Amino acid sequence: MSYYPVAPLPDVNARQVAQVIRPSSTSLLTIDSEDRFANYLEADAAIGLNPTILNVSPYDFTIRKAESLMNGFFTRIGISEVNFPWAIPNINQISQTVDVAYKFQGGAETVETVIMPVGFYTPHEIAAYIQEAVRNLTGIVGFTMSYGKDEVGNGAAGNPSFSYATNDADYQVAFRRITGPSTPPSQKQLFNLLGFSALNSNFQLAAYGAYTYCQYTRYVDICCFQLTNNQALKDQTSQTIARDALCRIYLGDALIPGNIPVRILDSVGANIPNPAFCPPGCAPTTIYRNFTTPKQIQWIPNQPVPGFLRFSLFDDTGTSLTKTVEFTDYATGVFLDWSMTMLVSEN
């Protein structure tokens, strides 16, 4: 006779041992561009000095501390929020000039340069300034330029674009980029802010450009090599120059008052350009971004965050933001400091 082991009946009173699950421990690493100075006495002394040599600009600065900023066995650094007061004018030392060429009755062309004073301008204000400048430089007293209005006669009124006309059959005009060693092809100019192209560089009685919001840049990349150096998965971009970035902030996230239309109705019901139309970047504002899914930077657990961190900011052409601010502006401190919060995690 053979015997087989009999399986015991299940214990209906059995309880599985509970396993405690908790979120990973986290801590904050906060960065403020104002901390590039040890105190306000040092900050006051730095104003007016060369920003390309000294630690003056909040758009390219170094944090220096005698000790490490953070020690601990953490493996991830995530950028959770950024608060960026926008103080870079859309008309700055890079984007303030455009060439205007004109000729009388098919004669030889004459080229003049329109130089706009640095500052914040709405599209309507840019059109008004260039209209007056072209009249004074060329003598074409009937020249008109508008934004959101059809100066060409093709029924395109209401579009967010510039149009212009000589209103004089004896004159033709053309707009062109500034050329020279100090203005590389990759640099955005007033010509580009106006939405102009090669078509606008040909002599015409009237013409219009592409849609434009007159923004000097559509976004800003915040970079810090000391923090992104450890990430194995490198960042890539459709730009010519690729940099590992902590984050990218868009001007479209700026805090602006309600939706202001390009055109409005006047007192008699006519649809006219709205001079109050102000896209983000055409006036001082604040960009606040709370990242729902922040970028996670891989970190070596036994490596501290060093006390030397250099933060560099770049526009949508890959140009340092420091170059967009007038050198003389540093004498009066025409810039605003920004801040960033990073979440450091053990897992």
**211-236: average pLDDT:** 88
Q: Choose from 70-74, 173-177, 227-231, 250-254 the range with maximum mean pLDDT.
A: 173-177
Residues 191 and 228 in one domain: no
Residues 241 and 165 in one domain: no
pLDDT surpassing 90 at residue 205? yes
Residue with tokens 């203005």: 183
Amino acid 259: pLDDT: 58
Residues 223 and 317 in one domain: yes
**130-152: average pLDDT:** 90
**3 assigned to some structural domain:** no
Amino acid 320: pLDDT: 86
Token reading at 257: 């008052």
pLDDT surpassing 70 at residue 67? yes
Amino acid 265: pLDDT: 65
The C-alpha atoms of residue 88 and residue 252 are separated, in whole angstroms, by 15
Residues 162 and 194 in one domain: yes
**305 assigned to some structural domain:** yes
The C-alpha atoms of residue 291 and residue 288 are separated, in whole angstroms, by 10
**334 assigned to some structural domain:** yes
Radius of gyration of the chain (CA): 28
pLDDT surpassing 70 at residue 331? no
Best CA proximity match to 313, nearest among 29, 95, 36: 36
Residue 16: pLDDT band with limits 50, 70, 90: low
Residues 136 and 58 in one domain: no
Amino acid 240: pLDDT: 75
Residues 223 and 325 in one domain: yes
% of the chain exceeding 90 in pLDDT:
41
Amino acid 12: pLDDT: 61
Residues 107 and 250 in one domain: no
Amino acid 164: pLDDT: 94
51 against 62, higher pLDDT: 62
Q: What is the pLDDT of residues 142-201, one digit of tens each?
A: 999 999 877 776 655 678 899 999 999 999 999 999 988 777 888 889 999 999 999 999
**214-227: average pLDDT:** 92
How many residues make up the chain in this entry? Answer: 347
The C-alpha atoms of residue 102 and residue 173 are separated, in whole angstroms, by 4
Listed residues 160, 182, 208: the one ending a domain: 208
The C-alpha atoms of residue 202 and residue 204 are separated, in whole angstroms, by 6
Residue 6: pLDDT band with limits 50, 70, 90: low
Listed residues 208, 239, 259: the one ending a domain: 208
State the amino acid at position 84 in one-letter form.
F
DSSP 63: E
Amino acid 17: pLDDT: 64
3-state percent helix, strand, coil for the chain, nearest multiple of 5: 15, 30, 55
DSSP assignment string, 177-239:
---STTS-TTS--HHHHTT--GGGGS-BSEEE-------S-SEEEEE-HHHHTT-SS----SS
**2 assigned to some structural domain:** no
98 against 44, higher pLDDT: 98
108 against 277, higher pLDDT: 108
Listed residues 208, 242, 263: the one ending a domain: 208
Residue 10: pLDDT band with limits 50, 70, 90: low
Distances (CA, A) of 129 to 13, 92, 122, 134, 146: 86, 15, 11, 9, 10
Amino acid 214: pLDDT: 93
**323 assigned to some structural domain:** yes
Residues 77 and 158 in one domain: no
**21 assigned to some structural domain:** no
How many domains are contained in the chain?
Answer: 2
Report yes or no: 143 and 167 within 8 Å, Cβ to Cβ. yes
In the chain, how long is the greatest CA-to-CA distance?
A: 123
Q: 172 in helix, strand or coil?
A: strand
Task: Name the residue range of residue 290's domain.
Answer: 26-88+217-345
The C-alpha atoms of residue 157 and residue 233 are separated, in whole angstroms, by 48
